[in-house]
Structures are given as C-alpha cells and as structure tokens.
Amino acid sequence: MCGLTGILNLGPGQDSLEPVLKRMADAIRHRGPDDQGIWEDSHAGMGLAHRRLSILDLSPQGHQPMISASERYVIAFNGEVYNFNDLRRELDALWENTESGMRARWRGHSDTEVMLAAIEQWGIANAVKKFIGMFAFALWDRKEQELSLVRDRLGIKPMYYGWQGDSFLFGSELKALKKHPEFRREINPDSVALLMRYKYIPAPHAIYKGINKLLPGHILTLKKSNPHATPQSVPYWSMLEVAEAGVTHPLVESEEDVIAQLDSILRDAVKLRMISDVPLGAFLSGGIDSTMIVAMMQAQSNEPVKTFSIGFNEEGFDEAPYAKKIAEYLGTDHTELYVTAEQGMGVIPRLPTLYDEPFSDPSQIPTFMVSELARKKVTVSLSGDGGDELFGGYNRYIKGRDLWKKISWMPKPGRQLLATSISAIPSRVYDRGLSWMKPILARFGRAGDMGHKMHLLSDVLSAKSPEALYLHLISHWTDPVSLVKGAVEPSTPFSNGCHWGKLTDFTQRMIFLDTIGYLPGDILTKVDRASMGVSLEARIPMLDHRVVEYAWRIPQEMKLIEGESKALLKKVLYKYVPKEMMERPKKGFSVPIADWLIGPLRGWAEDLLDERKLEEEGHFNPEPIRRIWGEHLSKKLNWEFRLWDVLMFQAWFRNESAEK
C-alpha cells in the first residue's frame, strides 16, 4: 500500500520536474512513510513520484518508481497484487519453455516487479486481467511515449487525474495534485450537488473543475503524440457484464454445494490477503461480514489473529460487546477501545484534510478511530466490507422491493394525485391531528415525526418508476439543485435507467447500482482515507473479483430467504460461529451525530451554518439549511444526515480557503 503521483508536462522548456514532484509526493507521505522515489524523463516532460509503505519485499529491491527488466516501462503502483507468486511461476515456466533467459533477471521478490514482467509479456490489458488484488498504478511506456492509468475492478484504490494548464496531473489523492503550481482550486458546483444527494461525489466527478476520478475497472491512456485529445478510459472488466452474465447463467447446484463452494472461494481470498512481511490483523465489529473474515483468518492461522474494535457508551451505538464475545469464541488476540464523545468529536477537525474532498458519511469517524487503534500493533488489517452489496445486506433491498410492489399497482395519475394531496398538508397539521399516536411513535423515534413520515410517504408515492424509488431511497437532499447555487446535477447511473442493462429484477438492480456507486464512492473511499491516514493497509477479501463473480451467479432466492438478508452468507458463517451468537438486529457503524449537533457540537455547527456566512461564501441557498437546522435543534425532526452533508462541505471549504 502506497501513494503515487505524477506529471506529463507539455509546456515550453523542459526544466527538471523533481522539485515539484517531491512537493507532490510529500503531500501524501502518510500513504507511504517508509520510502520515497522520484523518476523523470525531462526530455519527454514525464515524471513519477512514489511514497512507499513497505509490506512485501522490505528490501531496496521493492523501491519505486520501478523500471522493467527491458527498461521499456516505468511504474508507480499503489496496492497489492496478491497472486504475484503464481504469476511469477507462470512467467518462469513460460520463459523456460521459450528459452528467453528472462528467469535469471528477477531482482527481488515484490509484486511490483512481477506486474512489470507480466505487462511486458502479455501487454497491459491482458496482464491486468490476471491480477487478483487492489491496485491503482501509473505506467509510462518509454518506447511509445504513452501514459496509462489503471484502477482495480471494484475501485478499492483511488486515482485522480486531469489537465491543469499545460500539465496532465494524476495521483492517489488531491493533496498531491494541489501542490503543482498550475493547479486551479475551482470548485465545481455540480459536484457539490452530487455530494448533497449521495454524501459522496461519485466517479468520474471530483470537487474541482477539470479533475476526474478514474472509474473502477478502467484503463486511461494518454499519448504524447496526441496530447490535446481528451483522454478516454476504457473498461477491462465490467460490473454490468458480470451481473448480467450471473443472472443469465445462474448456478444450478444445490444449496449445500453452493455453500461449500462459496466457503472455499472466500477462504482462498482471505488466505491470499494474509500474505505479509509485516504484522497483520483485522477489524472486528461483531457483524456478519467482519466475523466471517476473522473466523476464516483464524481457521488458517497458527497463531491468534490480532483483532480490533471500538465501542461507544451511548446506547444504540455500541457493538463492542458482540465483537468481544466473537473474539473470545474464536480465540483471537483482541483489542478494544471505548471511545468517549470528546474523543470522537476530536476527530472532526481532521476530516477536511483526511478526506481530501468533501465527504459526509458520519461513520468516517469510527472508521478512522479503529484504524488508528489497529495501527498501534499492525501494519495490515483485513476488513469485512463488501458483504452487504454482494449478498443483499441492506434494508432497502427488501423494503424497496416491497414498497414498489405495494404502490406500483396504482395507476400513475392516481399515485400522483394522492402524493400531491398528502404533501399539500403542512407537517405541523399531521403532528397535531395525529397527536394521539405520539405515545406509540415515541417508542420508535421522535414523537413529532408524523408529519415528516407522511411527507416521505408522499415522495415514495410520486415515484414514477423503480429507478425513481431507488434514487429517493439513497438520496439525502432530494432536490440538491435548489440548494446549491449555480449547480446542474449531472446524470449518473442512479438517476438514468439506461445504465441498468438487462437486470429486470428491482432488487438485483439496486444491488448492482450500490456496487458501482455507493461501494466505491462511499465505503471504499472511507476505508482507504481512514486507514491510509494512519499508514495502515486495509485489505478487503469480500471484493476479490472471483468472489464478486461467483456471488452474482448465486440465485437471488438463496441470498434473500423470506425477507432475511444475507441468508446464504450466514449459513457459511455458521460453519465457524454458532448461530445464536449472530442473531441480533443489523446496526450501522456510526456515531450519535444527531445528539452531538444539539449538544457539544452546536457551537461549531452554528458557526458553519451562519446565514450571513453562507450567503457571502455563495455555495448554498441558506433558507432550507437554516430551516432544517431549526427543526433539528427543536427536536421536532432529525435532520442529522442532511446537516452533516452541509457541515462537511463547509468544514472542507473553510480549510480550503485557509490553504490558499
């Protein structure tokens, strides 16, 4: 796990790029504190910089940027290719049979060297299809004067890129790009609108104009001979093709055989990710996914696996006791930390720099804290992320399907009329008129939410299609353009049904869209920045592409049985852990933001949401923000997520202004 950055400069004169490359690399030192490398070809205007977190082959032979044996290719690589030993043996056998003499030219034992050899042997597109792992890398072809940027299939590792003046810049984080003297910090209001809807900015969009994120499973190529052409990326692996193939040709084996095969594939994915030359452990929340990973690690380890969890004293947010019981049962070397509200809130000032562009998933706080805890004892930690998307773990997969079934029978005009009638009545009228229900509602949340719930029902009824319903279910601000000044919300796969392919089942479409959107944009971004912020490598076995491809071939009726989420995955887990230990409601990994905003964070939030400052800064229409802030403070409605979206942008913008 490392950080990379680079420049392809087309400007007049070819001064050395080394000083600016060093500044760019220093900005991402946290991603690789163990070593730094710079390579440049000043005549070509090409430079690469790398920060190394040493995991495999700790010797100088693993130093990057690395030049291939033929000296044609130069690579700067972030991530891990776990099957590099198998690829090395395959190349050895191939070279021995062809008597090429390449076998004697291995210099070290790193996966980076194997990647270069594979690219030389098979070409970049064919080689990358053989890689099992997480990766983002930049490859310079000295012969063809061609730059290639590559991102792993699921988007575990990040890659930003874009033209700034005469320079094409790229890197693992925006921090690096911003150190280039030509970088323009021009905020894109369209991206701010996306943030308000999704709580993250989905690829290929980024917070700055002229900058993009490389899509997962894509290769972007830029030729020096045609420098002014807009670089286009092409897929080498398609999640949509995998999903369509899986549902078109599902498995026909018995459930017992599918459980056995899934167990085998997952165990191998976990085993590959246990290869390390430095201390290794795992995050353990006590939920289905993290317990599965830890159980499979312990089953394949001769020593107790180091596991880490954090707990909160606030009721409803503490999963540490469950994690502790699992750890005791499996026999892991467990470390837990109970976090006070003060400690949790102490992370908030670090978020604008940690997350590089505005990002507003509140679970970013505990994710950073558990990463910080783990880094005290290990350099690599396995995580259970991905199980919800692959095996149907989110409530919306069941509730969304059921909701559409309940309303789709009604003709569209009738639904629209009913929705309009419901929304025409102010929330306070519902609250007063249905006050007799408040004692009942108080058991499930705030007693004054009846009007809010009725208006949500209106939004659901007005959905014209399952796509529209899904978009509503995943949206925070449902009309972000009215909130963000000067914004035109870009089309995304979530808002445009033409991206849904041949997936006719609503639940399957939701799972697919979460896998290409929410997973890389939110979950994987959160884990990458939190872990790399403390120089910790996070590995994610569930997102081994072999697991993903197999999961999509499993019939849906095996994954979701009578409304039970992740039914099949649980049956695999019960081979390792007793069922009764896992029978509890699903919880999110988060913190009590709603209460903090009313209490100890109120002054901080009030400053960021000050009406005069919002007007002066010019990004938002203050009126809807001030309205929901007042409703939240009065405890009438819980607007924690919408408020957190605005607060995280405001905190990021204040930090951005201070950096200029």
In sequence order, what DSSP letters do the residues of 226-258 get, joined into one string? Answer: STTSPP-EEESS-HHHHHHHHHHS---S-HHHH
The pLDDT value recorded for residue 224 is: 83
Q: Which phi and psi (to 5°) does residue 24 adopt?
A: -65, -45
Q: What's the token pair of residue 52? A: 């190394």
The pLDDT value recorded for residue 428 is: 59
Nearest-Å Rg of the Cα atoms of the chain is 25
Rounded to whole angstroms, how far apart are CA atoms 538 and 155? 13
The pLDDT value recorded for residue 587 is: 60
Q: What's the token pair of residue 112? A: 């980076």
The pLDDT value recorded for residue 443 is: 40
Q: What's the token pair of residue 455? A: 């208006």
Rounded to whole angstroms, how far apart are CA atoms 564 and 432? 36
- 2 belongs to the catalytic site: yes
- CB neighbour burial string for 66-90, b if at least 16 within 10 angstroms, e if fewer: bebeeeebbbbbbbbbbbbeebbee
Contact 185, 208 (CB under 8 A): yes
The pLDDT value recorded for residue 632 is: 94
Contact 267, 297 (CB under 8 A): no
Instruction: Label residue 451 by pLDDT band (50, 70, 90).
Output: low
Give the H/E segment covering residue 526: helix 525-532
Residue type, 597: L
Compute the CA torsion angle 61, 65, 66, 68 (nearest 10 deg).
180
Picking from 442, 282, 451, the residue whose alpha carbon sits closest to that of residue 374 is 282
Q: Which phi and psi (to 5°) does residue 441 adopt?
A: -65, -30
The pLDDT value recorded for residue 447 is: 41
Instruction: Label residue 269 by pLDDT band (50, 70, 90).
Output: very high
Q: What's the token pair of residue 193? A: 């609108």
The pLDDT value recorded for residue 448 is: 45
Indicate the pairing of strand 333-339 with strand 380-382. Answer: unpaired
172-190 pLDDT, tens digit each: 999 999 999 999 999 999 9
Give domain 2-237's CATH number out of 3.40.50.10800, 3.40.50.1820, 3.60.20.10, 3.90.1150.10: 3.60.20.10
The pLDDT value recorded for residue 317 is: 64
- pLDDT above 90 covers a percentage of the chain that reads 68
Rounded to whole angstroms, how far apart are CA atoms 399 and 474? 12
475-519 pLDDT, tens digit each: 999 999 999 999 999 988 887 767 778 888 889 999 999 999 999
Instruction: Label residue 445 by pLDDT band (50, 70, 90).
Output: very low
Mean pLDDT of 154-159: 98
Higher pLDDT, 583 or 70: 70
- CB neighbour burial string for 384-393, b if at least 16 within 10 angstroms, e if fewer: bbbbbbbbbb
Other C-beta atoms lying within 10 Å of the C-beta of residue 328: 10
The pLDDT value recorded for residue 206 is: 98
The pLDDT value recorded for residue 433 is: 60
Q: What's the token pair of residue 446? A: 């705030």
Beta strands in 324-474 (DSSP E): 333-339, 380-382
Between the alpha carbon of residue 58 and those of residues 62, 286, 302, the distances in Å are 7, 33, 23
Between the alpha carbon of residue 254 and those of residues 258, 410, 507, 564, 576, the distances in Å are 6, 38, 22, 19, 21
316-353 pLDDT, tens digit each: 666 788 999 999 999 999 999 988 888 988 999 999 99
Instruction: Label residue 434 by pLDDT band (50, 70, 90).
Output: low
Rounded to whole angstroms, how far apart are CA atoms 540 and 269? 9
Mean pLDDT of the chain: 89
Question: What are the DSSP calls for 90-127, one per residue?
Answer: HHHHHHHHHT--GGGG-----HHHHHHHHHHHH-HHHH
Catalytic residue among 2, 55, 115, 487: 2
Rounded to whole angstroms, how far apart are CA atoms 441 and 436? 10
SS3 category, 137:
strand
Mean pLDDT of 196-217: 97
Other C-beta atoms lying within 10 Å of the C-beta of residue 534: 16
The pLDDT value recorded for residue 542 is: 98
**Among 56-60, 284-288, 429-433, where is mean pLDDT lowest?**
429-433
Superfamily of domain 241-386+540-581 in the CATH hierarchy: HUPs (3.40.50.620)
Rounded to whole angstroms, how far apart are CA atoms 515 and 500? 12
In Å, how far from its chain's centre is CA 274?
21
The pLDDT value recorded for residue 444 is: 37
The pLDDT value recorded for residue 57 is: 63
First CA to last CA distance, the chain: 30
Contact 55, 276 (CB under 8 A): yes
Contact 202, 194 (CB under 8 A): yes
- Cis bond upstream, residue 204 (ω within 30): yes
CATH code 3.60.20.10 region(s) in the chain:
2-237
The pLDDT value recorded for residue 181 is: 95
